[in-house]
Amino acid sequence: MELNVITLFPEMVKQTLSYGVIGKAIESGLLKLNCFNPREFAENKHNRVDDKPFGGGAGMVMMYDPLVRTLEHISTKTETGMVVFLSPQGEKLQQAHCNEWAGLSHMTLVCGRYEGVDQRFIDQHVDKEISIGDYVISGGEMAACVVIDAVARQQQGVLGSDESAETDSFMNGKLGYPQYTRSEILGQSGVPSVLLSGHHEAIKQWRDAQSLAITKRKRPDLLEGTSES
């Protein structure tokens, strides 16, 4: 999968995605990450990419032209694929989005800064507006990295056998089960005996029951409308 990111801070995105399984996938070429800085496509003097909002008010707005020229440049190098704009006005990111998008060959994420982006760019060039949650962050970069991580880890080959996507929280629509490792005894606290039993079917049943019980207690909303609520 090839991921294009339009950002005024390309180093922030490349750095953030250089760690762990995602970093490895980029190094190996399984994932291709291309960052494009709209400042390089500003044709005005001082390479301005922001301007005052029409109608007045605080802050600056990202200009239409540098963003469109960046998209055009991407089209000359590769394909844009689905264009995603990170914004609190977007659809809330869900695991289902990530599973679906892992099947795409190309995706382009647009990161805003300042008070926002000229609405005409969003109307004319954005396929999907996505939010990572109901809070405000200072730029789209961290949100884009969240989307990229969550999508990329669903790609075949990104996770090793030690980090299976099937046992993750949400992969069965429920939260994950509790995990234990050495030591077997920590003060008064032991390990549930079934996990030491070697009975794989009993372990699986215990874990499924734990997943369901934890989801009922902590996130009952995840079970609404299913047969398990």
Q: Please give the positions annotated as active site.
A: 88, 115, 153, 168
88 contacts ligand 4HQ (rule: CB under 6 A): yes
What is the smallest separation between the CB atom of 164 and ligand 4HQ, expressed in angstroms? 28
Please report, as residue ranges, which positions from 92 to 121 form the binding site for ligand 4HQ (by CB under 6 A): 112-113
Which class for 82: exposed (0-12), middle (13-18), buried (19 or more C-beta within 10 A)? middle
The alpha helices in the chain, defined as continuous H runs, are 10-16, 20-28, 64-77, 95-101, 119-125, 140-152, 200-218
Q: How far is CA 146 from the centre of its chain?
A: 3
Are 3 and 14 spatial neighbours (Cβ–Cβ below 8 Å)?
A: no
Please report, as residue ranges, which positions from 187 to 226 form the binding site for ligand 4HQ (by CB under 6 A): none
Q: Which residues pair with 108 in a beta bridge?
A: 4, 83
Q: Looking at beta carbons only, is 48 or 216 nearer to ligand 4HQ?
A: 48
CA separation for the pair 158, 154 (Å, rounded): 7
| From candidates 103, 133, 192, 220, binder to ligand 4HQ by CB under 6 A | 133
Helix (H/G/I), strand (E/B), else coil: 38: helix
149 contacts ligand 4HQ (rule: CB under 6 A): no
| From candidates 139, 168, 210, 228, binder to ligand 4HQ by CB under 6 A | 139
Sign, Cα dihedral of 177, 181, 184, 188: negative
| From candidates 78, 131, 172, 210, binder to ligand 4HQ by CB under 6 A | 131
Cα torsion through 38, 30, 96, 137, rounded to 10: -30
Please report, as residue ranges, which positions from 6 to 65 form the binding site for ligand 4HQ (by CB under 6 A): none
| From candidates 87, 108, 154, 211, binder to ligand 4HQ by CB under 6 A | 87
- Region of 38-46, 139-147, 155-163, 164-172 interacting with ligand 4HQ (CB under 6 A): 139-147
Are 102 and 148 spatial neighbours (Cβ–Cβ below 8 Å)?
A: no
Nearest-CB residue to ligand 4HQ? 143
What is the smallest separation between the CB atom of 160 and ligand 4HQ, expressed in angstroms? 29
172 contacts ligand 4HQ (rule: CB under 6 A): no
| From candidates 1, 132, 150, 152, binder to ligand 4HQ by CB under 6 A | 132
CA separation for the pair 39, 51 (Å, rounded): 13
137 contacts ligand 4HQ (rule: CB under 6 A): yes
